[in-house]
Structure 1
Amino acid sequence: MTKERSELKSIGYEIFIGILSILSIVNLVLAYAAQEQSLATVLEVMNALFSVVFLADFLYRIATVPSAGTYFFKHFGWADLLASLPLAQLKFLRVFRLIRVYRLLRDVGIRTVGRTLSKDRAGSSLYVLLLMGIFVLEFGSLMMLRIEQYAPGANIRTASDAIWYTIVTISTVGYGDQYPVTGAGRMLGSGIIVIGVGIFGTFTGYLANFFLAPRKKEPAPSVDAAATSATVEGLRLRLDESEAKLAEIRKLLTEPT
């Protein structure tokens, strides 16, 4: 296996990091295009969350790759580190992380990627749930803030209000301190509730399967072919000796006294 292939983590994990890289780059464009400061604040909070994830990814990779120097200097590890810092000027370096994920998956092959995801459905589902939670948290907060911010009698007016409402709604807790007052906002809130129930219901099933599913039985140890051959040969020799002794006894019994 080449060093490039050995840098590959699980297929689901690489795709997860790749999608987050794309979303973080999209957020940079949205942050520049946002006309409302409150909307830009939501994007800044999400980018800060991505920075934590990417920094953890960098530490995970540099601790597990065969050669930390090769990863850092030749495979854009330095770009991963700089792009993880909370500096807007360096976030464009996340393109290098996306390039590396693409290169690793290309070396594996699309068929292998499909077979692996199909075989490891539980792990793939977990990454899908994480991505769904992130997408709903970001775009649910942005849309709710956009709809409710200037509505009469609204109580979701700031970025923190929108993020807090979305987190509470996804988790199906529902404190009731923040709530939409417009028809469009209530429809959006209903969708977030349904998605949140699906996410946590599936996540609960995943945990139950992980902790309570019976372990697979270990295959019986294979018998060494040489040992089996030696045993058979020993039995054959003993059988020949027994037949020789029986022949001698039979001869003695048949001789005249």
Structure 2
Amino acid sequence: METKVRVLPPNAFDLVMMVLSIISVVIIVLHQFGPFSESEKELLLKLDTGICLILLSHFFYGLFSAKNKKQFLSIHWIDFIASIPAVDIFRYGRIFQVLRVLRMLRVANQVIRHLLKHSESTMLASMLLILLIVLGGSAIAILMTEAGHEGSNIETAEDAIWWALVTISTVGYGDYYPISTAGRVISAVVIFTGVSIFAGISGLVASTLLTPKAKETEKQQKANDNQYRLEVTTHLNSLHQEVADLRAEIASLSTLLQQRKE
């Protein structure tokens, strides 16, 4: 009889790492073959380095939380090698991570049920992914839009990344700002996106903090209800016993009166 192998579906953060791996491979290809200036290529390299750090963090988190670390290393060793920054040839190893997760996605129904069951983590992972994509995409867009313009103060990769971080967090230091119409449109999109994402993350965090208290209250209420049902059941059983005893006494008295009449 053929044994069926159960494939565990990837969780939300595994899917996020898969998307980041795809983005990283695209970044490396664009860095090597794209018609970009030196500052734009430097920005692409810095964005890829940031993705590498995220992938490494996810790898070490999985390693430390794994019960069987040898088995984890035997499966995910390519993830570690592919996440090493500044080694271009290793970064193409992320294709294997993408292929592995895509293979697990064959059980699409199981994946969807798993993600819906863990809706909070799925939503949080989705927001973080959108945040990273908007950060990287806006930094590239603002550098391509603003660099070279007369009077522009966003000329390097560091300037673009710092502008993206300050703008999406709505801090608004004002040290770097766009001067072109396209740059201001990009800024408006980044600001609205940042406000929406951070509001959503705050709501998820508040929900996560309040959920244990609500569950504890519900658990206590159920315990109280069970105790009340138990007490009522015990009292009813006692009443039934008393009624049975009274019936027995009445029957005994009826028999005694019948005998006296005779």
Q: Would the TM-score normalized by the shorter structure come out above 0.5? A: yes
2:80 match: 81
The one-letter code matched in structure 2 to 1:29 is V
Q: Which of 167, 173, 176 is residue 174 of structure 2 equivalent to?
A: 176
Q: What is the DSSP-based 3-state SS (H/G/I as helix, E as strand, rest coil) of the residue aligned with 2:105?
A: helix
Q: Kindly state the Cα deviation for residue 149 of structure 1 after the two structures are TM-superposed.
A: 0.9
2:22 match: 22
2:254 match: 250
Extract unaligned runs of 5+ from structure 2.
227-233
The one-letter code matched in structure 2 to 1:31 is H
String of CA shifts for 1:107-141, please: whole Å, max 9, x gaps: xx222333444454433221121111111111111
Extract unaligned runs of 5+ from structure 1.
224-230
Q: Kindly state the Cα deviation for residue 191 of structure 1 after the two structures are TM-superposed.
A: 1.5
The one-letter code matched in structure 2 to 1:18 is M
Matched, 1:161 2:197: no
Q: Using a 3 Å threshold, how does the CA distance of structure 1 residues 233 and 85 change in structure 2: closer, same or farther?
A: same
1:20/1:50 contact within 8 Å kept: yes
Q: What is the DSSP-based 3-state SS (H/G/I as helix, E as strand, rest coil) of the residue aligned with 1:42?
A: helix
1:143 match: 141
The one-letter code matched in structure 2 to 1:215 is A
Q: What is the DSSP-based 3-state SS (H/G/I as helix, E as strand, rest coil) of the residue aligned with 1:173?
A: coil
Q: Report how many residues are paired.
A: 244
Q: Kindly state the Cα deviation for residue 91 of structure 1 after the two structures are TM-superposed.
A: 0.8
Q: Kindly state the Cα deviation for residue 164 of structure 1 after the two structures are TM-superposed.
A: 0.4
1:38 match: 39
Q: Using a 3 Å threshold, how does the CA distance of structure 1 residues 215 and 237 change in structure 2: closer, same or farther?
A: closer
Give distance in 2, aligned partners of 1:159 and 1:22: 22
The one-letter code matched in structure 1 to 2:214 is R
RMSD: 3.1
String of CA shifts for 1:16-58, please: whole Å, max 9, x gaps: 1111111111111111124322112212222222222211222
Higher mean C-alpha deviation, range 153-162 or range 93-102: 93-102
Give distance in 2, aligned partners of 1:50 and 1:120: 24
Give distance in 2, aligned partners of 1:236 and 1:92: 78
Q: Percent identity?
A: 30
1:134 match: 132
Higher mean C-alpha deviation, range 145-154 or range 94-103: 94-103
Q: Using a 3 Å threshold, how does the CA distance of structure 1 residues 178 and 146 change in structure 2: closer, same or farther?
A: same
Q: Using a 3 Å threshold, how does the CA distance of structure 1 residues 65 and 164 change in structure 2: closer, same or farther?
A: same
Q: What is the DSSP-based 3-state SS (H/G/I as helix, E as strand, rest coil) of the residue aligned with 1:253?
A: helix
Q: Kindly state the Cα deviation for residue 237 of structure 1 after the two structures are TM-superposed.
A: 8.4
Alignment of 1:193-212 (within 5 A): 193-212=191-210
Higher mean C-alpha deviation, range 151-160 or range 126-135: 126-135
Q: What is the DSSP-based 3-state SS (H/G/I as helix, E as strand, rest coil) of the residue aligned with 2:175?
A: coil
1:93 match: 93
Give distance in 2, aligned partners of 1:206 and 1:112: 24
1:3/1:66 contact within 8 Å kept: no
